[in-house]
Chains A and B, each alone.
Chain A
């Protein structure tokens, strides 16, 4: 208890011509139950009021606060300092546009991904809101929810060597979305349709099965399984 934590934090404001990327060091007294969210707030309140970082829900549900924590991507708000050594290095997520310090533009990336993969239910008809809803098997609903739990935090992209090398790669997040919509009977797209958005080397065939995604996903989505599944479907059914 009561360790003094040393934070090495990446500082840089690309919008500011005077700013140069560097690592800054801050010391923080650890408190009981401290999370990185709390620690960064202490630093911002007492030592670096202009330190930029993103938190929204601070409860591990919105996906805003992903950063590289001692080398690996993770959600800062639900990372307890007691699970870390007393030297803590924080870097912004790579592959996303840097806004400042630890803040990156995951939203922009995700929107582009969504537009490219058309991540919505494609139906012909408008909802009939006065009628009974169509039925769905309870297990199927659960399976869809299982894949729908992604919070678009970008950890899987940051953990992916392929994405690091090739900036147009859609990442596990994108491929998982396709798996989610493919599973959904309300989405009337066929495999050939899915192939048009994901059947190339920026899509499923770009994935080299490095599986960093699977190991860092804070929602523990079954990415490994879904990537393999979509690859099978796209390799056999899609490319015609």
Chain B
């Protein structure tokens, strides 16, 4: 037996990658639910947005609270991305080997991994933009503020892409996480995988549809509000009756 004390780091890093991925994936679900509150109406979204700014506890809003949350999520993304980077093909030769392997194998789970790499890589850029905006202007998170950004600010193409990218990446990640650690894998390996796969497709579809509906709502509001772009929303119960 080897006598040198092995490094505990590989285990820790592997756990860190999974935990960060898990956190992000679950965060995105929550995020999607909050963001889609716009479907329920501007008021719903306003309440959600203000909640995060501490409005209902403190009685006034501190947008910086959101900035802090964004900073936290951003750092986790950075950690996650750095950890993931270790798994990226490190050279053209490695990439080529994987690519030709994937093509000849025609094997779902192998292909899905490349999808994850590509979507992850894409998020590097797409998510940065979004996060930077959220970090710098948390005060503009608002039924009108957001809608104006989406429509008048021309952010919707980015969101549309990011929506697909993040949902595919996150749900595939969760699916892989389950198999990687052996969660929900009762029954034969084959059955377990088939079951998880259908859950995976179901979740992707659910969140993409939800996201599209929300994005639609933002766009609709944004178009209607285009002329007054820049003005924030006042909740209906505070609006003066016309």
Binding site for B on A (CB under 8 A): 68, 71-72, 94, 118, 122, 159, 161, 164-166, 189, 193, 195-197, 199-201, 203, 205, 207-212, 214-215, 222-225, 227-229, 231-232, 234-236, 238-240
Residue B241 interfacial (CB < 8 Å): no
Given A211-B193, A225-B189, A239-B12 in contact, is the A164-B180 Cβ separation under 8 Å? no
Q: Among B62-70, B98-106, B205-213, which stretch is in contact with chain A?
A: B98-106
Q: Among B107-115, B151-159, B228-236, which stretch is in contact with chain A?
A: B107-115
Asked if A212 and B109 sit within 8 Å, CB to CB, the answer is yes
Asked if B98 and A165 sit within 8 Å, CB to CB, the answer is yes
Residues of chain A within 8 A (CB-CB) of B101 are 94, 161, 164
Residues of chain A within 8 A (CB-CB) of B192 are 224
Residues of chain B within 8 A (CB-CB) of A235 are 11, 14-15
Residues of chain B within 8 A (CB-CB) of A232 are 181-182
Asked if B97 and A240 sit within 8 Å, CB to CB, the answer is no
Residue B51 interfacial (CB < 8 Å): no
Residues of chain A within 8 A (CB-CB) of B176 are 208-209
Complex Cα gap A118–B147 (Å): 62
Residue B10 interfacial (CB < 8 Å): yes
Q: 0/1 per residue, B18-52, Cβ < 8 Å to A?
A: 00000000000000000000000000000000000
A222 → B minimal CB distance (Å): 5
A-B pairs, top 3 by smallest CB distance, nearest first, are A228-B182, A239-B11, A239-B8
Asked if B107 and A159 sit within 8 Å, CB to CB, the answer is yes
Asked if B94 and A165 sit within 8 Å, CB to CB, the answer is yes
Asked if B113 and A224 sit within 8 Å, CB to CB, the answer is no
Residue B87 interfacial (CB < 8 Å): yes
Asked if B102 and A161 sit within 8 Å, CB to CB, the answer is yes
A178 → B minimal CB distance (Å): 13
A157 → B minimal CB distance (Å): 11
Residue B74 interfacial (CB < 8 Å): no
Complex Cα gap A208–B177 (Å): 10
A223 → B minimal CB distance (Å): 8
Asked if B181 and A212 sit within 8 Å, CB to CB, the answer is no
